[in-house]
Chain A
């Protein structure tokens, strides 16, 4: 069925997604920093599922390397999924510009740089799917994480535009907006159990939505309604709130 390129493959969410795609017959390119640390994970996938899983080095902030990274893939992927992201502590991110920049570049600029290249290739081949993991944090800026949220909002808008551009060429773009997910990113936070998804639930949701050709999904599903309410709170009221 061809290769799926998973970017940010060391994240717990990405690993669950990788497993799910391999179980459904896809081979994998697993791209990450220090990719040798993923070798054991890749062997595990290959032995469990009989699919090929290759680990490839990629730093999403090293924009100049992206064209050669993509060119070096023998057998172009049938789809790409990005789980790259960075969420620092808000106090640091707002007070230290290096942190601000890292947040914006990791969640937005870097992925855009890579997706631009892949979009051109898919457009030309008139096939493929592009999945971006954005966040509900991009739906409205909150004082607790508005720089991360702003970067995700930018990414959401980017994906929407890309979907619009590629629609005519049969390339499918899916925007994923997770609510809370139990991963390394959130292990120090006290998350409400009912609203928190496990990585493999997110993986299943993404796989199903991608296979069905959906445009935007929230996961868990109730976040769609939670965010509808949050988006509709009038600004004069929202600005006084702490959520």
Chain B
């Protein structure tokens, strides 16, 4: 069995191992020189790829739940979707969730993931009470913001490079409905889009889909959706049957024209100005999860996501320059997502800083990496950074400039000999 990441690029040979009990893991770690933990393979690039993989997904027991304070103790392989299946009907939801629920708790910690509420609620580490980590020497340590703080700050966002996260305690939040009262704001250019984000920034959840092929005065036109949980008491929830993309699409299926048509339809079908809807949380948070294997639409050559963030003061200028560069390149992105983020946290490699982030999906094809290299230069010029969870190609130089705490991370890796046990293709490339 060889495991892929979500982008299906690169495809490498790897050996996959799993473990039955925590106490047998140290012996397994001794068997090979180099490892990387693997969750559910929803990272886009090479964060979870290496010659030897420890598959943590089978470790998926729910260990305890305290219904007084919402504290849930789970093994690291539990999927966020499993948590929702069990706890939404009881009136609980994840405090922080990314745009897919098909990730493991271990993966959520390792990427310190964020969701539509980052501007008010921060990253996944904010809902994390403690976790237990197995270090390269087989020792199990408990980490929190109070205990083993260096390991906590390195592991949250540490891309599996500090050890194996075994289990974690996270706090759920109370909800009174499975539904979201959603407002959609249709904007006609980038300036309006930014104004709309500011105007609605008190709403706990917000994200914009942006038409990255629109040029000239329409550049930056978007659909901003904001919302919050309803209060209608409807908790009757059962996860739905999904559609499936049964095979890799031929590589011609996605081109500038099909993307233009899609964008036109998607943007065009939405009512002008401001409209409101009631949708269930799956439709609001996880629209892409409704289609199994949607990554196959990019064909077997795979795809990547380019996600960067720029400090707020220069976001407008920077995005304008980047969007112009993309639209001149003629390379379209099917999915382009813009979001306003809140302040950064103390974790060494967490991605978010206060500002705007744009995420763009691109099919892997000739000329793409040259374009992305050019975009990197613009991102650096504006003191932005790239998100490792999506990345498959960023250079060491570009990466380092974006993350000032990289020195602390490297030093900690050396101190615990993590650099001699845990490495991914990505960590080798960016030298961490």
Contact = CB atoms under 8 A, between A and B. Distances in A.
Contact of A41 (B61, B64, B65, B86): B61
Nearest to A42: B61
A40 B75 CA distance: 9
A200 B26 CA distance: 29
B21 A47 contact: no
Nearest to B75: A40
B229 interface: no
A19 to B, nearest CB: 11
Interface residues of B, number: 9
B62 interface: yes
A11 interface: no
Interface in A40-54: 40-41, 43-44, 47-48
Contacts of B63: 40, 43-44, 47
A48 B21 contact: no
Contacts of B60: 44
A91 interface: no
A44 B62 CA distance: 4
Nearest to A37: B21
A75 B60 CA distance: 30
A219 B86 CA distance: 31
Contacts, number: 20
Nearest to B85: A48
Interface string B45-76: 00000000000000011111100000000010
A40 B73 CA distance: 11
A47 B65 contact: yes
A47 B86 contact: yes
Interface in B1-37: 21
A46 to B, nearest CB: 8
Interface in B73-104: 75, 86
Contacts of B21: 37
Interface string A188-220: 000000000000000000000000000000000
Contacts of A47: 62-65, 86
A41 B21 CA distance: 11
B86 A43 contact: no
Contacts of A44: 60-63
A43 B62 CA distance: 6
A243 to B, nearest CB: 29
A138 to B, nearest CB: 28
Interface string A37-75: 100110110011000000000000000000000000000
The 5 residue pairs across chains A and B that have the minimum distance between CB atoms: A44-B61, A47-B62, A40-B61, A44-B62, A43-B63
20 contacts: A37-B21, A40-B61, A40-B63, A40-B75, A41-B61, A43-B61, A43-B62, A43-B63, A43-B64, A44-B60, A44-B61, A44-B62, A44-B63, A47-B62, A47-B63, A47-B64, A47-B65, A47-B86, A48-B62, A48-B86
Interface of B: 21, 60-65, 75, 86
